[in-house]
Structure 1
């Protein structure tokens, strides 16, 4: 199979059209169209449904894109790293990161990176809002469960899950009663949390009594027995092990992933590649337990 044609197909699929892919990559639209047609001919498959004003992946095209997109991203990263040879990363690296991960780990991660690469000037901006990487001159963005974005590529480097915890003195409510809860955001009405207990999903009625904007604040309030809380396992595993909090169960279906994202339309710089490797070295398995151990270390 022609890898160049496959790369062009992935580019067009990611951007949703030949024109947008051509503008993003700087390559002629006619060339991209020809290369995709050649790939379809070699596979004897139609990968796109072409309309007068739209381009849509076929079922076969979607399956091919899902399997090859990440593989080609990793191949690009590898070849870029090899091409950079032994040159040490240098220059400014600007990163946007969410509040909780920044508070939990980026102080140590950032310091370790700068000590390893002293010619890099690292700037980390903490914010949870969506950002425009190109307009705001970010080299890398770290986000939790990001929405799909055709202009960005990246990888998940950490996985976590939400658990319901409470202080040892707070008992599971009697049937029909609600337990007091500390929640993130604003106070709302009585709610029901679905907890994945050992016996299966269990409905837990809760009544919010305290609302705050930080998970660390929620953890501190839960420790004092104000109410039950839904928190990332990585943030409370140490408290669970020490007996300061009791794990009532996992929040059903509430898994999260931290992604490192960067623009797909430009080559991966040595600085970004080195920081991705730094993340991988810190969290080789990408588990909540690794993040908890990193915070405690």
Structure 2
């Protein structure tokens, strides 16, 4: 057997993902003895042990984990290409894992995910809401949605929406006079996930305003920050997409936009892998959901 026998590698990957030879055999519909033999032959060919064999479980060794991490994406792409050739179709299909920010997920992605799977029923979409920079290859994600991503040579994608950051205040609070040289000290609700700033600059119809934010509350969720402002705890910097309805109803007021705080949302995939049909379909879909590239809760969901 050659060192990199494709069937043996596919068997190895299936055993790792299933957590055992028996489970993998049932999932693949192949004899357990055949899978065990292929694993042994692969270990002999590579000259390393790929599994620690316990009484009840089968765990990959350090070499086994490395092999799985380095071949998982390639095996997935080969499997997808094989299926397209077998059925002669060019339809998006298979599992699609997406990492997305929590706020965007809460506001938009439930409805959009349902619409996407209705259009592409052969895609098994999974969206993980998390505010962290995931590693697409190491963690098995196909797409990452990121806010103001750092330029990265290993990621490519498309900008699908922009948002505005506003300084918002409870209804009835008086906006300090604009164009004063000195900042106005105001009680504030701040998000613990962002670096604190001593002075907030905002620009509205009344002119430019400098706000010295005096933190009264520190909250880790922007939804909690909004609710605290609605309850009268202080002013806050919040995205328009989150407070669009509250501003329209008069429950909150905007003191102006933060002109130096741009908000861009990108859908990214790994540059070392060709975008598969399902990745391309998802990125096209989310871009089409916001044709004017404006991210507001009401407009975004209506157009989706």
Shorter-chain-normalised TM-score: which range? 0.5 to 0.7
**8 A Cα contact 2:184 2:210, kept in partner:** no
Tell me what 1:140 maps to: 143
User: What does 1:19-34 correspond to in 2, within 5 Å?
Assistant: none
Structure 2 residue matching 1:169: 3-state secondary structure: coil
Deviation at 1:191, TM superposition (A): 2.5
Tell me what 1:65 maps to: none
Provide closer, same or farther for how the CA distance between residues 176 and 194 of structure 1 changes in structure 2, counting only shifts above 3 A. closer
Tell me what 2:235 maps to: 228
Tell me what 1:203 maps to: 210
**8 A Cα contact 2:247 2:254, kept in partner:** yes
Tell me what 1:23 maps to: none
Structure 2 residue matching 1:111: 3-state secondary structure: helix
Deviation at 1:258, TM superposition (A): 0.5
Distance 2:197 2:290 in 1: 38
Superimposed CA distance per residue, residues 180-226 of structure 1 (whole angstroms, 9 cap, x where no aligned partner): 11110089989321112336532112211011111111111111111
Equivalent of 1:98, from 97, 101, 111? 101
**8 A Cα contact 2:158 2:283, kept in partner:** no
Equivalent of 1:193, from 191, 194, 200? 200
Query: Which consecutive residues of structure 1, in runs of 5 or more, have no partner in the other structure?
Result: 1-82
Deviation at 1:104, TM superposition (A): 0.9
Tell me what 1:213 maps to: 220
Greater Rg by CA: 2
Tell me what 2:165 maps to: 162
Equivalent of 1:182, from 173, 179, 189? 189
Q: Is 2:273 the partner of 1:270?
A: no
Tell me what 2:300 maps to: 294
**8 A Cα contact 2:183 2:210, kept in partner:** no
Q: Is 2:250 the partner of 1:243?
A: yes
Tell me what 1:73 maps to: none
Tell me what 2:115 maps to: 112
TM-score by length of 1: 0.66
Q: Name whichever of 112-121 and 199-208 sits farther off.
A: 199-208
Q: RMSD between aligned alpha carbons?
A: 2.5
Distance 2:197 2:283 in 1: 42
Query: Which consecutive residues of structure 2, in runs of 5 or more, have no partner in the other structure?
Result: 1-83
